[in-house]
Structure 1
Amino acid sequence: MMIPQQQIIFDLDDTLIYCNKYFDLILDQFYETLQEWFAGERLTTEEIREKQIEIDVAGVNKLGFASEHFPRSLIETYLYFCRAYKREPVKTEEEQLLLLGRSVYDQEVEPYPGMVETLESLSKAGHILYLYTGGEPAIQQRKIDKMKLASYFEDRIFIRQHKNVEALEEILRLNQFDRSVTWMIGNSLRTDISPALEAGIHAIYLKQEKEWVYNMVELQQKPASVMYTINTLTEVPRVIHESIQIHQQKKTLG
């Protein structure tokens, strides 16, 4: 059975390459640092984590994926506890946290297991691959170049600071996607899967063991779209091809 050509859009961070684990490493250092600075207050890791998440999520909702947002969330969390415990903020400590937060963007770029295998398989099957990522162009482009992803996506790469249904709709409309054969592959329910389903395209959710709380939302699916959940990137070609075959069989029987 011939598999019709599909238009497959991939997310980048925590779909094709690792990302959140580096933020977690920086946050672990941040928790330890604040506990040292507030040693007399018995500040717990959970207290720091909850406040940083609250500030982090609020900032992303407002500013999108701006690079300075994460370092600022560390500083704002520090300042919150300074106010809470009537501790005078120290400028050098704020500067230390700024450097700590910025260091997350200097981490190595590491592909997810099966990244090349998955992209090769889909390309050889004749599908058209697209890359759609959130963040600042210079930072995201460095990752793309490091992984030599242009060899698969060519000029079909979209980088947006705000990654939501409006951004996805603009990409789909301006590039004249056929939504009946378009897929979104990503790890974020909020920025990948929910917008895809709202836009009426198919979606594959790459579930993570430990997910950033910002990415978790309830989904509303349109009748024309389908959604699958997978645990490994290498499942993508099989899921897409099996879904197409089931659809073709239904059409034949119907």
Structure 2
Amino acid sequence: MKQQLLFDLDDTLIYCNRYFFEVIDQFADSLKTWFNGYSAVTDSAIRDKQMEFDLALIDKSGFKSEHFPRSFLNTYQHFCAITGRDSSKQEENFLWDIGISVYQHDTEPYPNMEQTLTQLASEGHELHLYTGGEPKIQQRKIDQMELGRFFESRIYIRQLKNYDALEGILQSGSFDRTQTWMIGNSIRTDVVPALTAGIHAIHMQAQEEWHYNIIPIDLEPKGAFLRLQQLLDIPHAIKQFVSR
């Protein structure tokens, strides 16, 4: 039976988190060097404060590219304030540059991305792509992976990726909720909105997950709720559920 499959992009079809983690490592190492001798500026304190600023910015206005480097500057300025160390424009420029560099890497697919999408399309399923972020940045990734081959015009980019955004997509299209699936790594932006909207959900479990994506699930699924670890498992899992 034909199903309508909404795929997340970052850390579902392509790598994303690991580039952010690498840049955060570089950021933390820089601050530890600059604030050497200040007992309050520990590795864990740096990472916790950066995450706090980053999440606050996202909660306020969604996924914007400026939020990540801005969280670096806010963290740096916070530690300058509590230690009394003078800030430096040169250091601020350096932090902004490494923060924004996370959006400039080449796009790399998850293992078996193309094989999985090809199999699902050949089995007659309708593939949709639903991703959060700035349109220009997300479209560059989509173009680099040539994902238009699979999704055609069924691509939705939203700066705020939440229940309201998903519900808007479902209401604007011809979706049968009993045959619609959301497939993604984020419990916050993929799984919970899908379960709230009454569609099936597949949680693709990442090896390293961003803290923002992890929230409790306090909903009773109306349909399927599966947890998988690799893309190749998706076609069989859907087939098993549909054929029950």
> Under TM normalisation by the shorter chain, which class is it?
over 0.9
What is the alpha-carbon distance in structure 2 between the residues aligned to residue 109 and residue 211 of structure 1? 18
Alignment counterpart, residue 18 of structure 2, candidates 21, 26, 48: 21
SS of residue in 2 equivalent to 1:84: helix
Q: In the alignment, which residue of structure 2 is the partner of 1:30?
A: 27
Paired with 1:223 and 1:61, the residues of 2 have a C-alpha distance of 26
Instruction: Verify the 8 A CA contact 2:195 2:221 in the aligned structure 1.
Output: no
Runs of 4 or more consecutive aligned structure 1 residues displaced over 3 Å after TM superposition:
none
More off after superposition, 102-111 vs 222-231: 222-231
Give the structure 2 partner of residue 5 of structure 1: 2
* Aligned position for 1:184: 182
Establish whether residue 148 from structure 1 lines up as the match of residue 146 from structure 2: yes
Number of residue pairs matched by the alignment:
243
Identify the residue that residue 70 of structure 1 maps to in structure 2.
68
CA distance in 1: counterparts of 2:23 and 2:15, whole angstroms: 14
What pairs with 1:97-116 in structure 2 (closer than 5 Å)? 97-116=95-114
- Per-residue CA deviation, residues 89-134 of structure 1 (Å, 9 max, x unaligned), is 1111111111110100111100000100110010000000000000
Aligned residues of 1:18 and 1:111 also touching (Cα < 8 A): yes
CA contact (8 A) 1:198 1:220 kept: no
- Structure 1, residues 116-171: CA drift from partner, whole Å, max 9, x if none? 01100100000000000000011000000000000000000000000000000000
Q: Judge which range, 226-235 or 193-202, deviates more.
A: 226-235
Aligned-residue sequence identity (percent) comes to 51
Unaligned runs of 5+ in 1: 247-254
How do residues 227-246 of structure 1 correspond to structure 2 at under 5 angstroms? 227-246=225-244
Which residue does the alignment assign to 1:249? none
- By how many angstroms is 1:87 displaced? 1.4
- State whether residues 52 and 77 of structure 1, in contact with CA within 8 Å, keep that contact through their aligned partners in structure 2: yes
CA RMSD of aligned residues (A): 0.9
Secondary structure (helix, strand or coil) at the match of 2:50 reads: helix
TM-score w.r.t. the length of structure 1 is 0.94
Once residues 157 and 11 of structure 2 are traced to their aligned partners in structure 1, the CA distance between those partners, rounded to angstroms, is 15
Deviation at 1:240, TM superposition (A): 0.6
Residue 223 of structure 1: how far off its partner (Å): 4.5
| Deviation for aligned residue 1:176 | 2.5
In 1, Cα distance between equivalents of 2:217 and 2:67: 26
Q: Which amino acid aligns with 1:216?
A: I
Distance in 1 separating the partners of 2:102 and 2:176: 37
Give the match's secondary structure for 1:152.
helix
Contact 1:66 1:161 in 2 (8 A): yes
Alignment check: 8 A CA contact 2:12 2:184 kept: yes
Kept after mapping to 2: 8 A contact 1:200/1:222: no
Q: Distance in 2 between matches of 1:217 and 1:114?
A: 28
